[in-house]
């Protein structure tokens, strides 16, 4: 599942509007809309803020290939 779909699905499950999500996460409404449409290139920090509001977290994994 794409990040955009995951965010939108969770937001709808929690019955949070895009406007409310943007205010709670401290990001613009345009950013939330773009992310949910799979547009733009949000920073990891922006994604972290949104996922935090939705009760989710980002798990980082770094894989080094020689």
What's the pLDDT tens digit per position in 8-62? 999 999 999 999 999 999 999 999 999 999 998 999 899 999 999 999 988 744 3
CA 64 to CA 41: how far, in whole Å? 24
Q: Does domain 3-53 have CATH number 1.10.260.40?
A: yes
Res 55: pLDDT? 94
Res 62: pLDDT? 36
CA 34 to CA 48: how far, in whole Å? 16
Segments making up each domain of the chain, as ranges: 3-53
Its pTM stands at: 0.84
Retrieve residue 10's tokens: 């969770």
Res 17: pLDDT? 98
Contact of 19 with 29, CB cutoff 8 Å: yes
Q: How many C-beta atoms surround the C-beta of residue 21 within 10 A? A: 24
């Amino acid at each position: 599942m794409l990040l955009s779909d995951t965010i939108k699905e969770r937001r709808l499950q929690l019955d949070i509007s895009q406007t409310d999500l943007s205010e709670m996460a401290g990001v613009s409404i345009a950013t939330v809309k773009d992310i949910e449409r799979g547009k733009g290139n949000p920073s990891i920090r922006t994604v972290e803020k949104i996922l935090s509001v939705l009760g989710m977290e980002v798990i980082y994994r770094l894989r080094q290939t020689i």
